[in-house]
């Protein structure tokens, strides 16, 4: 009876969010999400409080409501509906790519070995999240002011005819102090014994929640994160050898062709997370050194929170 009381309250409070499913489905959605979270909880290592303290029912209800809100926003703003075909494809992807088949099997058992429940409660939220993030990150109108900021700086840099690297990097730092970290890439191919191996995963479902350009490899993403990281990072992390070949081919081509000598300025580069501008510091047959100006895009989480339920 207690669970049913919570379910009724949930249905009333979040009724406006439940465009994607009938309100009467709310209790089953919450129950399935709870079952999924219990499996993940069971596989957490170390000392942990009881499950009900770790993830109270009210929190599960909020998680489900957020998932439904994302689907409603996707439909309302971007006019996209998640079809059964998309969900079925995600189920097949999960089955084919999971690195934890035993956990995946437990998840299916927890959902009564019901393929429809698995598709609805596991696969569908993944498709929704990935699709909505991709649309958000590629929404030119949403990120127009951030792009304009970088474009304006590029114009200022190019207006300084024949300016040295030092002069142009000073302009970058005057525009935004501290926003010109330097990075050096090796132009030779990465030695085979240094190629990054795929990291382990503890999740039964390997998902890329933050949708990113397919061209951006894990190593390339790590490079950008390393360059923009805090000075408090360890010297070992900051001095890790970087290779240009780890970047997306299109970006490699831009940097190789546009940054020929000190002071050269790249075009504005858009990534899933922001806008980048590169300034050549030094170029040799072995290395390319640059300063980087970056402006992040709007926060996905903040944008989503502002959307009406």
Give the pLDDT of residue 210.
30
Whole-model pTM?
Answer: 0.76
Residue 169: partners with Cβ closer than 8 Å, 6 or more residues away: 180, 279, 281, 291
H-helix segments, the chain: 2-13, 26-42, 51-54, 57-78, 84-97, 101-110, 115-118, 124-137, 144-159, 165-175, 218-227, 235-238, 249-258, 300-306
209-229 residue pLDDT tens: 332 333 444 344 445 545 555
154-178 residue pLDDT tens: 999 999 887 889 999 998 988 887 7
Supply the DSSP symbol for 95.
Answer: H
Helix (H, G, I), strand (E, B) or coil at 299: coil
Pairing, β 242-243 against β 287-296: unpaired
In whole angstroms, give the CA distance from residue 125 to residue 104: 16
96-137 residue pLDDT tens: 999 999 999 999 999 999 999 999 999 999 999 999 999 999
Chain center to CA of 231:
23
């Amino acid at each position: 009876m207690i669970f049913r009381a919570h379910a009724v309250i949930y249905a009333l409070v979040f009724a406006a969010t439940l465009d994607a499913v009938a309100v009467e489905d709310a209790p089953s959605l919450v129950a399935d999400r709870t079952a999924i979270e219990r499996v993940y909880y069971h596989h957490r290592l170390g000392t942990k409080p009881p499950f009900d303290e770790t993830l109270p029912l009210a929190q599960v209800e909020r998680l489900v409501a957020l998932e439904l809100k994302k689907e409603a926003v996707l439909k309302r703003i971007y006019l996209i509906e998640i079809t059964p075909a998309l969900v079925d494809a995600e189920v097949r992807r999960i089955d084919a790519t999971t690195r934890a088949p035993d956990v995946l099997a437990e998840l299916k058992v927890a959902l009564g070995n019901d393929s429809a429940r698995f598709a609805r409660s596991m696969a569908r939220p993944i498709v929704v999240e990935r699709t909505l993030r991709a649309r958000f990150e590629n929404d030119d109108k949403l990120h127009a002011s951030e792009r304009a900021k970088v474009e304006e700086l590029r114009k200022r840099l190019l207006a300084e005819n024949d300016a040295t690297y030092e002069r142009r990097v000073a302009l970058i730092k005057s525009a935004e102090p501290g926003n010109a970290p330097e990075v050096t890439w090796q132009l030779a191919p990465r030695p085979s014994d240094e190629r990054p191996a795929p990291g382990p995963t503890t999740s039964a479902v390997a998902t890329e929640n933050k949708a990113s350009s397919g061209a951006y490899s894990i190593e390339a993403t790590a490079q950008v994160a390393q360059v923009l990281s805090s000075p408090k990072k360890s010297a070992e992390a900051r001095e890790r050898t970087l290779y240009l070949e780890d970047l997306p081919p299109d970006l490699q081509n831009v940097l190789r062709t546009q940054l020929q000598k000190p002071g050269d300025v790249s075009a504005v580069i858009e990534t899933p997370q922001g806008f980048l501008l590169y300034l050549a510091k030094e170029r040799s047959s072995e290395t390319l050194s640059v300063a980087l100006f970056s402006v992040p895009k709007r926060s996905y989480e903040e944008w989503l929170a502002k959307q009406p339920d």
